[in-house]
Amino acid sequence: MANNTGEMPVMEHLEELRRVLIISIISTTILAVVAYFFCDRILAVLLEPLTQLEYKVNFTGITEPIFVKIKLSFFAGFLAALPVILWQVWSFIVPALKKNERVYFTLFVFISFISFFAGIAFGFLGVFRYGVMFLLQFAGPELFPMLTIDKYISFAISFLLPFGLVFELPLVGFILASLGLLSYQFLAKNRRYAILVIVIMAAVITPTPDLITCLIVSGPMYLLFEISALIVRIVERRLARKRQ
């Protein structure tokens, strides 16, 4: 009986986790199918940096256009299904939390969702569009780019997703500072190491090996580090006032 009572909650949790994964996958797939019908519009938006410069995009295989559209559809489907996925994660974790913890966790999920989309939007509107146009200008009049749609879309997706993740830094800084695990003095003291880590991270997440793309990505990442440091400082001051 001891084994049964001990194993049942574990099995129930695994079954619940399985349900969360299945619903997340199904919702992503369904919304990817829906996104496929809008794929041409999404593609036109991502191609704006090239169309503004009057560049044409090619494909080298017969099946390349359809697979690019499927890839793009699943990317858009994942973004569209993110509220459902986060809701499933929330419903899985919340029952194990206390009442006040549920409020904080709900706020955390909501703000992380907003931050992720803000990162994607900033990555595209503030960095990607101008970065692509800037990099293509180095070709000059002598060189003509042979851009393929598969590599371009892969570049766009791998470029934008890290921005969504990096925009979570201020939220993570706020939580760690509230728990007393991170201080502004620590961040200020290790700022030069943070710059080194940011450049290394930018070099890893950027899909091209050139230095210019790395610097374009690392700039906003360092700005987010400074914003996170400022948030940590504000949290520290607020906690210090409460102790007085």
pLDDT value for 4:
47
Percent of the chain predicted with pLDDT > 90: 27
Q: Where are the alpha helices (DSSP H) in 94-168?
A: 99-122, 129-136, 149-166
| pLDDT tops 50 at residue 118 | yes
The residue assigned the tokens 């470029």 is 159
Tell whether 65 is covered by a domain.
Answer: yes
Q: How many domains does the chain have?
A: 1
The answer to whether residue 173 sits within a structural domain is no
Per the model's pLDDT, the better-predicted residue between 210 and 194 turns out to be 194
Q: Domain range for residue 30? A: 1-128
pLDDT of residue 22: 94
In a domain, 108, yes or no: yes
Question: Distance of alpha carbon 195 from its chain centroid, rounded?
Answer: 20
Q: What is the mean pLDDT of residues 184-203?
A: 87
Q: Within a 10 A sphere around the Cβ of 56, how many other Cβ atoms?
A: 10
The answer, yes or no, to whether residue 238 has pLDDT greater than 80, is: yes
Give Cα separations from 33 to 20, 66, 80, 221 (angstroms).
20, 13, 11, 33
Residue entry with tokens 């987010």? 224
Q: Could you tell me the pTM of the whole model?
A: 0.77
Cα(160)–Cα(178) distance, integer angstroms: 29
Residue 199 maps to a domain: no
What pLDDT, in 10s, does the model give residues 4-59? 444 446 777 788 888 889 999 999 999 999 999 999 999 999 999 888 878 888 99
Q: Mean of the per-residue pLDDT values for the chain?
A: 84
Pairwise pLDDT comparison (194 vs 144), residue with the higher score:
194
Q: Which residues lie below 8 Å from residue 94, measured CB to CB, with a gap of 6+?
A: 102, 105, 106
Flag whether 78 is in a domain.
Answer: yes
Q: How confident is the model at residue 1 (pLDDT cuts 50, 70, 90)?
A: very low
Q: Are 127 and 161 in contact (CB under 8 A)?
A: no
72 found inside a domain: yes
> Which structure tokens are listed for 218?
């690392």
Q: What is the pLDDT of residues 201-224, one digit of tens each?
A: 777 766 566 677 677 778 888 888
Does 21 map to a domain?
yes
In 10 A of CB 228, how many CB atoms? 23
Q: What is the pLDDT of residue 166?
A: 85
Q: Does residue 208 belong to any structural domain of this protein?
A: no
